[in-house]
Structures are given as C-alpha cells and as structure tokens.
Structure 1
Amino acid sequence: MDAEQLRALRAVADAGTFDAAATALHVTPSAVSQRIKALERQTGQVLVQRTRPCKVTDAGQVLLSAARRFAEIESDVALALDRISAAPLRVAVNADSLATWFTAVLAEAARWRDTDLRLLVEDEQLTHRLLTSGEVIAAVTTATRAAAGCRSTRLGAMRYLPVASPALWDGGPLPGEQLAAMPAVCFDEKDHITEDFLAGLGSPAPERRHLVPSPHAYLTAVEAGLGWGMVPARMAAEPLRAGSLMRVHPGHVDVTLYWQCWALHTPRLERLTELVLRSARELDAPTP
C-alpha cells in the first residue's frame, strides 16, 4: 500500500462518498475507486461498504487509523520543510470540559497559524472509542488504561454538585429517596452522573428526567427550576453565591479525566498536549 491509497481511504471515510472524496483529493472518482480496490486486493478484505454514505468496515478501520497517523506525520514533515499544508488536529472532548477549563486551550490555540482544530464533542466515557477507531488523535476521557499505540496522562477531577433552584426546593439537604422522586435534569441519554450520585446514596434512578444537551442551557434549566441537576462546581460557584442555586445534598461526584493521544512526538501534537495539561491544572485546584 502507498500514501495515495491511504489518503483515498481517509478521504472516503471523512467525505462519505467517492465523489466527494475525489473532489477533496482533486482527482476523479474512478481514481479514488481504483485506489480503494488496490488496498482491498492487498489486504484481502472489504474495506469500504459502498453505501450512501460509505461506511468503513472493521478491517477498514484498522487501515484508517494508520492513514490518520500517516497524515499527522506527513503534515509535520511538511511544516518542517516550510510547506503550508497541514492536517487538522482532531480531538474528542466532553461538553462540560469544553464549556469550562478547555476554553483556555481555545484561547491560546487562536494564536496558532499552522494548525486547525477539529473538536468532536462526546461523553467523557465514550471519547476513547473515537481514539481507538482512529477518528481522532487525542481525547479527554475517563478511560484509565491507555489505548493501544497511545499515551495517557491524568488531567485532574471535575467535581459535580447536586443543586437546584430555590423555586424547586428551598428547604435543607434532601435524602436520596426524596431526590429520586424529584424531577432531574440530565445532559443526554448517555449522562449517568445523576444516577451514579443517587446510587452512591443507595437510592434508585430519578423517576423523571429532562434532557438538556448543552452545558450552559443545562445550567439555565436547573436555575429555572426544571429539575435538580449535577452541575460542574466551577459553573455552579457564582449561582450559588448569588442564591439562584442551592445545594440539595452535601455530597458530590468527582470525575477523573485523562488526556490520551497517539504516541507520536510530533511538534504540533506535543504543543497541543502541553497546552491541554497546563490548562487542566485548575481541575485539582480548590473550588472557588
């Protein structure tokens, strides 16, 4: 297999069709098809299902991961040779991180002239899947074990507090069974922090759940009295001081996060890793 074939596989996976991949590569759809077929002959496997959109098979995912690694290396070599083209850095990050400490990463990355970021938002318990599939080169994740071919560094712990609007509850701390009987606000179907908190109290999952899949809208929903929720401590600090939120239980949930990235010591990935680790220092700092 050669570089052109790997580029074709990556283009089909990203674009979804042979025609769109051909446009991205500035070649004909026939050329893309021939390169994919050549890879399939060499591997003896079907790598791409010819559906609309195209779907990469399990065997194709193995080669796709290699293709993305090759693109990263190729891009950094190009930069070293003063060429202007650069592959975007694809990173998976959970929504709460993106709305809080990860904003410092964005602020500094705004000054980079040689790198485009592609952020994929996913639950922190699932971001590592995007890493192992080769869809991203780095991820903020709760996975403690480094994925194959990757390195892992602890970032710190995000603390979540059980809070509610005084409009919903203005009494003292509630026992778990009463919390379970009250409506709760969750991020989405993959969000289990509320259930985990109640389970730690020996209580069942909430009887009613509202789903609000946006960190800032989530906070607004809890402040509005839609239900109680588990809010990141740093997002809850000011509303707690202002009295628009109150603690409904003295407990909390700490979610430990890790930075996993491919074991490539390329300049752009190293720079991003250093920035992420520096920005995450606030996670273990005392909550304001």
Structure 2
Amino acid sequence: MDLSQLTALAAVVDEGSFDAAAAALHLTPSAVSQRIKALEQSAGQVLVRRTRPTAVTGPGEAYLRLARQIDALVREAAVETRADGDGRDVTPVTVPIALSADSMATWVLPALATVGPGVCFDLHRDDQSRTADLLRAGTVMAAITSVDEPVQGCRSERLGVTRYRPMATPGFVERWFADGVTVDALAVAPMVVFDRNDDLQERYLQRRTSRRLTPPRHYVPASADFAEAVVLGLGWAVLPHEQSDEPERRGGLVELDPGQHVDVELHWQQWTLQTPALEAVAAAVRAAAADHLL
C-alpha cells in the first residue's frame, strides 16, 4: 500500500472533490485520480463516491481511518524531532474530535484549554447519539458520545452522566402551567429545541406523559442562544446545570417539573492507536468529566 494513495484518499474526502484535493496536495487532478484508482484496485472495492461533495464509502472508512492514523503518527514524530527547549518551534498536532453542542458550550472547551500549545483542535459538532458515526467514518480521532459500544478500531470509557432538567421562566410557568404540569398543558406550551436531531425534550415528554405530543417549538441551533431563548421566555426546555444554575439563582428560571429529569450517559471513544497528543486530550477530558458529570 502506497502512503501517497492514503494521503490522496484523505484529501479527496476532506476537500470534497478531486480538483480541490489536487490543489491542496499541489498535484494535478489526474495524479490524484490515479492514486485513488490504484488504491481501489489494491483494495478490490470502491472507496470514494464520486458525488458532490465526494464521500467515503463503507469499505473506504477503514482506509480513511488508516490514513488519519498514519498522518497522526507522522505529525507526532515531527513534533518530537523539531521541538526546541521551550517548545516554541513545535508544529502543533491537530486532533479532530466529535462532540455535542452542550458539551462544547459547558465543560469541554475549558478542558481542552489545559492541554497546551502543542495541540490544535478540529471540533465537529453533532448530537451525542451521532458523534460515534464521525468516529466510525474516520472523520475524527475521538468522540464524546452516548454510544458505549466501541467503534471498530477504538476503545471506549464511561465519562459520567449529564442531567437535564425541564426549566422555564416563572412567567412562562404562570401562563402555560397555571394548573400544573398536565398532559393538556404540555401539548400546547411552546418548547425550545436545538435542531431536528435534538430529542431530549421529546424524551422528557414521552416519559412524563407516555404519549407522543407535538407542542409548538422554536428551533435555536446554538447552545448559548438555546439557553438564552429559555431565559427570555420563548419556551421551556431541558437544560444541564451549567446553563441553568445561574439564572435559577437569580430567579430567572425555575424547575418546570421538580423531580423530573433526563439523564444522558456519556462515553469517551478514541482510536486504539496511542499518540502523546491524543492521550493528553483524553486525560484532560477525563479530569473535566470527573468534575462536571454525575
């Protein structure tokens, strides 16, 4: 297997086309195409979908993951050989990570800030139930996910539980839940939802009512703005304590349904391939999770 072929595969997937990959690699599109064809002939399978943008096939995921791993090892070797005494000459290693918007907005970014200047981050945001798909596809080296079953070629460890409580403003509760949190009230009271993949509010409704309700909803696909929308009284939503504690202390938010909550168990999955940068990131995430998760 020619390493230049694996490099071409990663570039075609990352850049979204053969032409863009050629520009990134300082090659002609024909040269990139030849390398991909040679790799596919060696594998005996189609590895890249010739779509717009290009995408890796199922069989291609293993080769893409291999390409990422080799690139990580090469970059780690470069760091070890080029660093001077104070580390200023270090070429940072980029670690791509998949995580949810809630994790990014609350406890993960402060954890990553402790890793040091030798590592850069390429963060991919998705629902915690879907981040493992990015790991499986070879897009990222690690993921914070609700999936505990290790992705092939990865190891998994439990981080803890994020607890989400249904929260709303006092005025919102007075208007929509004057007679208590009933099925009828939940069916009509507006709620705030992150995006179409966010099912946390639905999980609360299903558990609370054992029915499928379709109340009005506001879609607010940014974590900080999502919490702000609840504080402003647009609707109710389930929030982690990092986003609800301060406005709750100020009296801006109250528990909509005391004693009710939605728990999401989180896991750290990463390549079994060990590199100093990836292990440093894992240690930082693990320590922060111990402080923030249940």
| TM-score (ref. length: structure 1) | 0.92
- Quick one: which of 255, 268, 279 aligns to 2:264? 255
1:236 aligns to what?
244
SS at match of 1:42: helix
The answer to whether the Cα contact below 8 Å between 1:101 and 1:282 also exists between their aligned partners in 2 is no
- Kept in 2, the 8 Å contact 1:163–1:228? The answer is yes
Aligned counterparts of 2:225 and 2:127: Cα–Cα separation in 1: 17
Shift >4 Å, 4+ stretches: 83-87
Where does residue 52 of structure 1 map in the other structure?
Answer: 52
Residue by residue, what CA displacement relative to the aligned partner does 1:80-114 show, whole Å, maximum 9, x if unpaired?
333755552110010000010112123224x31x2
Q: Does the aligned pair in 2 maintain the 1:175–1:249 contact within 8 Å?
A: no
Q: By how many angstroms is 1:172 displaced? A: 7.6
After the TM superposition, which of the residue ranges 56-65 and 273-282 deviates more from structure 2?
56-65
Give the superposition deviation at 1:214: 1.0
Match of residue 141 from structure 2: 137
For 1:90, which of 92, 96, 99 is the aligned residue? 96
Q: Which residue identity does 2:217 align to in structure 1?
A: R
Residue correspondence of structure 1 range 171-250 to structure 2 within 5 A: 171=178, 173-204=180-211, 205-250=213-258
The 3 A distance-change label for structure 1 pair 86 and 13 is farther
Work out the number of aligned pairs and report it.
283
Residue identity (%): 42
CA distance in 2, matches of 1:284, 1:86: 29
Structure 2 match to 1:34: 34
Residue 265 (structure 1) aligns with: 274
Unaligned runs of 5+ in 2: 84-89
CA contact (8 A) 2:93 2:277 kept: no
List runs of 5+ in structure 1 lacking aligned partners: none
Tell me: CA distance 1:238–1:85, structure 2 relative to 1, closer, same or farther (3 Å).
Answer: closer
8 Å Cα contact 1:137-1:261 kept in structure 2: yes
| Structure 1 counterpart of 2:284, from 267, 275, 286 | 275
Deviations 1:240-283 (A, max 9, x none): 11111111101111111111001122111110100110111123
Q: Which residue of 2 aligns with 1:115?
A: 119
What whole-Å deviation, never above 9, does each CA across 1:3-61 have from its counterpart, x for those lacking one?
Answer: 11100100111011222212222222222122111112212222223333223222222
**How big is each residue's C-alpha offset from its partner over 1:108-162, in whole Å with a ceiling of 9 and x where there is no partner?**
24x31x2221000000010001111111110000001111111111111111111
Q: What is the letter of the counterpart of residue 214 of structure 1?
A: A
Shifted more, 99-108 versus 8-17: the winner is 99-108
1:4 equivalent in alignment to 2:12: no
- Pick from 169, 173, 195: which aligns with 2:173? 169
- Which stretch of the first structure deviates more once superposed, 228-237 or 53-62? 53-62
Deviation at 1:183, TM superposition (A): 1.2
Conserved 8 A contact 2:154-2:272: yes
C-alpha contact (below 8 Å) 1:155/1:283 kept by paired residues? no
Would you say the 8 A contact 1:184–1:206 is kept in 2?
no
Amino acid at match of 1:256: E
Instruction: Assess if the C-alpha contact under 8 Å between 1:173 and 1:247 holds in 2.
Output: no
- 2:155, 2:270 within 8 Å by CA — same for their partners in 1? yes
Q: Which residue of 1 aligns with 2:24?
A: 24
Partners of 1:8 and 1:244 lie apart in 2 by 53
Cα pair distance change 1:157/1:177, threshold 3 Å: farther
